Amino acid sequence: MELTLLPDGIYERVISDELGKVLDEASKKEQIWKETETVDSQEGARYLSDYAGRLIHCCLKEIADQDEEGSTALGKELHLVNDLIRLLSKRMESLGEGHTVSREDFLLTQLKRRQNTLKEIILERPLSGLSHSTLFTNSKKDVSLVTELQREIQSADRIDLLVSFIKYSGYVMIRPYLQEFTRRGGKLRVLTTTYMGATDPKAVAELATLPNTKVRISYNVKETRLHAKAYIFYRDSGFSSAYVGSSNLSHAAIADGLEWNMKITQQDMPLVMEKIHATFDTYWHSDEFQDFSEKDRPHLEDAIDAERGRGKEGTSALSYAFCIRPYPYQEQILDALQAEREIHHRTRNLVVAATGTGKTAIAAFDYARFAKSRDQETRLLFVAHREEILTQSLSAFRQVLQDPGFGELSVGSFKAKRADHLFISIQTFQRQRLWEKLDSHYYDMIIVDEFHHAAAPSYQKLLSYFKPRILLGLTATPERMDGKDILSYFDGHLAAEIRLSEAIERRLLVPFHYFGVEDPIDLSHVAWSKGQYETDELIHLYAKDHTAGIRANAILRALTRYTSDMRDVKGIGFCVGVQHAEFMAHFFTKAGIPSLALSGNTPDEQRRKAAADLASGRLTFLFVVDIFNEGVDIPAVNTVLFLRPTNSLTIFLQQLGRGLRLFEGKDCLTVLDFVAQANRKYDFASRLFALMGTRNLSIRREIQLGFPHAPKGCCIQLEKIAQQRILENINSQLKGPSYYLETIRELYGITGSVPTLAEFFKASGIDPHLFYNGRRTYTRLLMRAGLIEEREESLEEKVLMRAYPTLLSLDSPRWISYLKENLKAPQRPHTILDREYAAMLYHTLISKDLEALGIISPEALILSLGHWQPFIKELEAFLTMQENALSFLPQSPGVLYPCALEVYCHYTRNQIFAALGYEHPSSIREGVKFLTPEKSFAVTHPTDVFLVTLNKSDRDFSETTRYEDYSIDRMTFHWQSQSTTTPHSKTGQRYERLCREKEKAGYILLFVRENKKDAYGGTQSYTFLGRVSIERLLGSQPMTAILKLALPLSAGLLTETDASGVL
């Protein structure tokens, strides 16, 4: 092979020996630079089979080309293929015999059983075939798409249709074929929407009357955003096909429009077909869609009219589809609130959520849960400062509770007759002196909206007099401009915070386009105190020194690069101080960009006028200081400048939230964040994690790859210098002990006392996953800082040091409780549960160092823990920190034997099998294990353990195995066995028995993780999803099982395990 045959570029090409020699030789001569990769076995199977397949195809085509008559070529082709099959059969016993091909008419095209038929039935076949994918463009030379769909319908066993809208003109073209298909027992599922009011209600209504047909509709088109079009034809023969492209079900789209549609076949694109099937299933079970029947036709017609602008006054399509289920991100908040109260016994709870993300709905769902848990009436007081908020809140509560008579307003002209469910303004509360009329314990739940106002004097009587069972505070802006700390009302604790990424994906907020821009000012030498830069030094650099003009010019240039037209900009710039804001406003105005500076000292009337001027376009920018609430709540804002370096993630998100409000004509928020050469204690990683909405990804890898997992519709880009600075900053925090020594000494200097473990992490903002990397402990850090007496490194310290990264996933309350009790007073494990807990710890700590200590059993480990001082004190503090971080309520697995495992908690493979009484868990490598009482000291019933890794490949994106295992809905999970399992194998027969007899035949326990590695490079633990039963079994090598969960997936777990990423 000649090097000249390989153009420069990117490849995914298998390097043959011949190609390898050419590349190696060219590399030695420094003619080329090359990059190669070792892929994992899952990806290797795909690449190598494709490579071998191409070679085989080349050989067979050469045989065919050599025989123009074709008289002998087919026999030679068969001979070669049979030789290869025999070789594979010898190498792989599981392949079995009988795969050779001896007949020339080897292509089966149709099969039909004769019973109940009087004559031979010939099914119509698609002209485009069933084995090879192709593209339809509706050109004159193409097969007609509509006639091809008609043929596909005739031979399908099941059909799924996914279209944004359905026109009667398109439906009638395939109506007789769908009628015949459903009449003969074929099952039809249709998903559509009211998008743009384009659907014809008559077409939907007729479809819904067909036998064996189900139709589901999304009315909430602003959030569902379904623009996909797919026609999916399933065949039990394994020759399914799908048409995915631009054609909705209309005459123009399927008959004569210039539409592109890709036909995909199961035979040549099985992974894509699997993804199509999985994604449709996820959509089908999503709460975004509602079942449709003839009785719903008036609602559909009203919703269509509303979308077309012909709706009744005050109505919208959404008003016909209000869903009384919380969104997944809201449900996670509700679960966190429940954990706060039931695990941590904290009943004063603060929820932070950006304006427009449904804070009031969360409060309503929270009240509904609380009320449902009690036998007696649950009295409610809802307090806000404006009539509009109260009116909307009462409406939301009534819809959630499905009680149109719930609650009364007491504000303005509204006079409440009863006080039991009262929605009152703080002004009316003060005027009526409600505390003089009601007992302090009268209300079971008090909700205060816009809680950042609660530090004002008018709220003090409300908060000091009443003693509700639950106090719930809601706010978008926990940081007040006057510096008063509202967290003090909640024991310094924030209960929950809405992730912006999920609200954006739900279209409750606009997407952001975040640009990390090079800042010309070097801040690495600016004084750093109490976790932030000295304000006076920043103001000097930004507003007084010659550097101020340099930076301001750089900001203007960046605006020019990242905005299309300055006349359309409505921006806010967040500044360090008043002088900085005034300098920026003057500089911009002088440059022809009308701007104004605002601060906490600006009179209210002036602030309101400035906000109105910005919204109308008379001003382009407001440069603000410490104003996060009143005066800058301007939905029209479409550009945000981060001009003050803040190390507070709360302030960063609060400022970002100012620009994320929905507004007509606003597609996205442009965010310019100016990245300077920073103090190495400045935390870039946390803000990037917050923008991503997850910590399950390596932030360094995301930076290097250009943030491929940014939230839907969002963009995160870093300029080259900005990227280098952020990576250097992150890397400096990953390096040796000097960074942590400086931090601990600084904290000691501020407080005058040795910080506890929890204080260290809270005050410094250091990520425990970065600190506990298997090579350090907090106790040793204190020793090296000279804050406690230093001791020589011991084996006990080494054992714990290596175990901490694994223990960071520990979130089982019962196991934590057992460990804390035994650290204080070690007890010999007597019960089965105690033995399980002890074994879990032993197999977490097991190492050569543990053996060197003479500890070779779980019991010996537990009894020795009291002698591991002072390092055991750190473990106690660590366990308390993990306990305080619990944000969900685990459940019992409900098995008939003692089981230390709790549903929804996280465990490593060793911990799982140790808890199930298996003595050598480290010997288990496969993802399935069958346990019997003979193999375990704990299980008394046969138990199958399924360990599932959703992304089986180590690559960032892989189609190879993503769609083998996934959740279909909260109660259903799609699972595939090992590739060698058949219905006739011993394992397959056991699965068949479990399917028939359910738990009479034994238990199945399901554990799931997203990836093999976590965001920090360690082994990711599994989430225990509890008991499952097999509802249905399909296929062979592998077998596919539809599993029914005993307990529903939480909202967070549903999002993680959903194959399509839409739930």
Residue 160 in any domain: the answer is yes
Question: CA-based angle 311:317:323, to the nearest 5?
Answer: 145
Name the least confident of 173-182, 418-427, 795-804, 919-928: 919-928
DSSP structure string for 513-560:
EEEEEEEEEE-TTS-EETTEE-HHHHHIIIIISTHHHHHHHHHHHHHH
* Same-domain pairing of 596 and 715: yes
Note whether residue 145 is domain-resident.
yes
| Structure tokens given for 488 | 């003090």
pLDDT at position 629 is 44
SS3 call for 88: helix
Count how many Cα atoms sit within 13 Å of the Cα of residue 274 in the half-sphere of its side chain. Answer: 19
Do the beta carbons of residue 636 and residue 666 sit within 8 Å? yes
Which tokens sit at 224? Answer: 């569902």
Residue type, 677: Q
Amino acid at 943: T
Query: Could you give the percent of the chain with pLDDT greater than 90?
Result: 58
Each residue of 672-725: pLDDT tens digit?
A: 999 999 988 888 888 888 888 777 777 888 898 888 888 888 999 999 999 999
- Strand 928-931 to strand 906-907: parallel, antiparallel, or no bridges (unpaired)? unpaired
Whether residue 120 lies inside any domain: the answer is no
The answer to whether residues 941 and 1051 belong to one domain is yes
- Residue 890 placed within a domain: no
End-to-end, the C-alpha distance of the chain in Å comes to 50
CATH number of the domain residue 239 falls in: 3.30.870.10
Q: Are both 687 and 823 inside the same structural domain?
A: no
pLDDT surpassing 80 at residue 257: no
Would the pLDDT of 961 be above 90? no
Whether the CA torsion 631, 633, 637, 639 is positive or negative: it is positive
Q: Is 574 helix (H, G, I), strand (E, B) or coil?
A: strand
The amino acid at residue 1047 is L
Sign of the Cα torsion 312, 314, 317, 323 reads: negative
Examine the pLDDT at 183 and tell me if it is beyond 60.
yes
pLDDT one-digit tens code per residue, 655-687? 888 899 889 889 999 999 999 999 888 888 888
Distance between CA atoms of residues 1007 and 905, nearest Å? 10
| Residues contacting 410, CB < 8 A, separation 6+ | 416, 422, 423, 424, 425, 428, 432
- Would you say 459 and 453 are in contact if contact means Cβ atoms under 8 Å apart? yes
- Clarify whether residues 308 and 190 are in a common domain: yes
For 244-255, what is the mean pLDDT? 89
What are the DSSP calls for 395-421, one per residue?
HHHHHHHT-TT--EEEBTTB--S-STE
Are 523 and 492 members of one domain? no
Helix (H, G, I), strand (E, B) or coil at 711: coil
Which amino acid, 575? C
Identity (one letter) of the amino acid at 357? T
Model pLDDT, residue 760: 93
Domain presence at residue 951: yes
> Which of the residue ranges 198-202, 506-510, 787-791, 856-860 would you say has the lowest mean pLDDT?
506-510
43 lies in the same domain as 22: no
Cβ count near 545 (within 10 Å): 14
| Domain of residue 351, residue span | 328-498
86 found inside a domain: yes
Average pLDDT over residues 871-899: 94
**Residue 226: pLDDT over 80:** no
- The answer to the question of residue 893 being in a domain is no
Does residue 803 contact residue 844 with C-beta atoms inside 8 Å? yes
Same domain (yes/no): 672, 756: no
The neighbouring-strand residues paired with 216 are: 191, 291
Per-residue pLDDT tens digits for 512-567: 999 999 999 999 999 988 778 999 999 999 999 999 999 999 999 999 999 989 99
- Say whether pLDDT at 30 is over 90: no
The residue with tokens 């009211």 is 194
Question: Between 562 and 627, whose confidence is greater?
Answer: 562
The secondary structure of 6-23 as a DSSP string is S-SS-------HHHHHHH
**Bond preceding residue 201 cis, omega within 30 of 0:** no
Which residues, 6+ apart, have CB-to-CB distance to 847 below 8 Å? Answer: 798, 799, 802
Same domain? 434 vs 559: no
- For residues 870 and 875, give the distance between their C-alpha atoms in angstroms, rounded to a whole number: 9
Residue 59: how many CB atoms within 10 A of its CB?
Answer: 15
Strand, coil or helix: 972: strand
- End position of a domain, from candidates 470, 498, 526: 498
Q: For the segment 100-151, what is each residue's pLDDT rounded down to a tens digit?
A: 998 888 888 888 776 666 566 677 889 999 999 999 998 877 888 999 999 9
What helix, strand, coil percent values describe the chain, rounded to 5? 45, 15, 40
The two structure tokens encoding residue 34: 């090359």
- Tokens 């190879």, residue located: 960
Percent of the chain topping pLDDT 70: 94
Does residue 768 share a domain with residue 691? no
pLDDT (0 to 100) of residue 223: 63
Tell me, yes or no, whether 1031 lies in a domain.
yes
pLDDT averaged over the chain? 89
| Co-location of 339 and 379 in the same domain | yes
In the listed set 471, 498, 525, which residue is the last one of a domain according to the structure? 498
Least confident piece of the model among 373-382, 500-509, 894-903, 935-944? 500-509
How large is the average pLDDT for residues 71-79?
85
Q: Which residues, including other chains, have CB under 8 Å from residue 245's CB and lie 6 or more apart? A: 136, 229, 259, 260, 261, 262
pLDDT(653) > 70: yes
CATH number at residue 650: 3.40.50.300
Q: Which of 113-122, 647-656, 906-915 has the lowest mean pLDDT?
A: 113-122
Domain count, the chain: 7
Whether 318 has a pLDDT exceeding 50, the answer reads no
Q: Tell me what pLDDT residue 317 has.
A: 41
User: Are 155 and 238 found together in one domain?
Assistant: yes
Tell me which of 264, 287, 320 is where a domain ends.
320
3-state secondary structure of 591: coil
Q: Which of 201, 204, 250 lies closest to 229 in space, CA to CA?
A: 250
Mean pLDDT (whole number) for 25-42 = 88
- The whole-angstrom separation of Cα 879 and Cα 870 is 15
d(CA 387, CA 425): 7
Beta strands at 1003-1009 and 669-677: parallel, antiparallel or unpaired: unpaired
pLDDT score of 1061: 56
Residue 944: predicted pLDDT: 96
* pLDDT range class, residue 321, cuts 50, 70, 90: very low
Q: What's the rounded Cα separation, in Å, for the pair 1016 and 695? A: 9
Query: CA 393, 398, 401 angle in degrees (round to 5)?
Result: 120
Q: Find the range with the poorest average confidence among 39-48, 302-311, 898-907.
A: 302-311
- Indicate whether 377 and 523 sit together in one domain: no
Mean pLDDT of the region 816-820: 96
